[in-house]
Amino acid sequence: MSSTDTKYMKRALTLARKGIGKTTPNPAVGCVIVRDGRIVGEGWHKKAGTPHAEVHALAMAGNAARGADVYVTLEPCCHTGKTPPCSDALIRAGVKRVVAGMADPNPLVNGGGLNALRRAGIETVSGVLEDDCRAINRPFIKHVTSGHPFVTYKCAITLDGKVATVTGDSRWISCDESRKFVHRLRSRCDAVMVGVDTIITDNPQLTVRHVKGRNPLRIIVDSTLRTPCSVGVLSGPLAKMTIIATTETNPRIHRRYQKSGATVLVCRRLDGRVDLADLWGHLGKRGIQSILLEGGSRLAAEALKQGLIDECIFFYAPKVIGSDGFSPFAVTGITGMAQAIPFTNLKVQRMGSDVMVTTRPEKPCLPA
């Protein structure tokens, strides 16, 4: 990996990040075209169904692309979807060399794009700043390899580990900066998910505010359909962007929610509740790649126990509630530290007056 390759791949990454949260079901990709030590073209994928990053960069470069080096954060595609293959476009443009940040794990590509370029006599390199390239597309990678969405659990938490008082009051534990960051997270995710108890207690809007961005889908996990029809998520035009996951099969009850425009999604039952693994599969088939899980504690605990959470973000506020409050995970049955769920890849940073901790749970080993 040369310093020149690193330099231009960093620029491609900067471009790719502009598309995060906007390209589902496609990945976020950035591309830079360099000739004689000068950037002659660049672009990023802006929305599914529109030209890919390479096409935007080639259009900007024009004839200058011939004999140029191309830096792209993800292996160029080699199949026809809503747009033609980018590998063909690069070959026609007569580029000399293509440097990819990572191979595309999509089975429709999976090395085929780089192979097509090599067969055309174009030099290829792969794996430049690969960790950074993978980081911006974790939802895409998870979805295309497993069929499940990438799930981030977030919660505001006091220094003594509580997410609400004994009465359920949680407004506001975190500071303004943390809440603004959460709304930015929402705008970058395909969906935000909560349990029915959170809907009943807080009546949240689950929309993007405080920052510019699109509203995600809203998913309510409600095994027995206790969600009141009067709640905010079932009111107005955004009700059409609400999915209620349940085990209730009665069509008469379904119609009560469908009148608002909401979708009722029937899942398998596990211990009397929605089987979350089955729900994850249903959501993946709907093209949902990323979910921000915001509560409540029983839903979070079940997802954690089943190994369905990929990342956790905790906003620790300088406050104490005491022993009567609620914990972020309603996990029971742990009697020894050997049974505790371990976390890894811990990252800590200040967020206003709060401390934000980002971490990943390891495979849990909890008692049944």
Q: Which residues are catalytically annotated?
A: 54
Burial of 324 (0-12, 13-18, 19+ CB in 10 A): exposed
Q: Which two tokens stand for residue 343?
A: 């976390």
Give phi and psi for 258, each to the nearest 5. -65, -20
Question: Does the N-terminal peptide bond of residue 44 adopt cis geometry, omega within 30 degrees of 0?
Answer: no
Which of 361, 365, 280, 368 lies closest to 328 in space, CA to CA? 361
User: Which residues are CB-contacts of 252 (< 8 A; sequence separation ≥ 6)?
Assistant: none
What is the spatial distance between Cα 194 and Cα 272, in angstroms, rounded to a whole number?
18
Burial of 260 (0-12, 13-18, 19+ CB in 10 A): middle
User: Which residues are CB-contacts of 263 (< 8 A; sequence separation ≥ 6)?
Assistant: 242, 243, 244
Cβ(217)–Cβ(191) below 8 Å = yes
What is the spatial distance between Cα 120 and Cα 91, in angstroms, rounded to a whole number?
7
Amino acid at 20: I
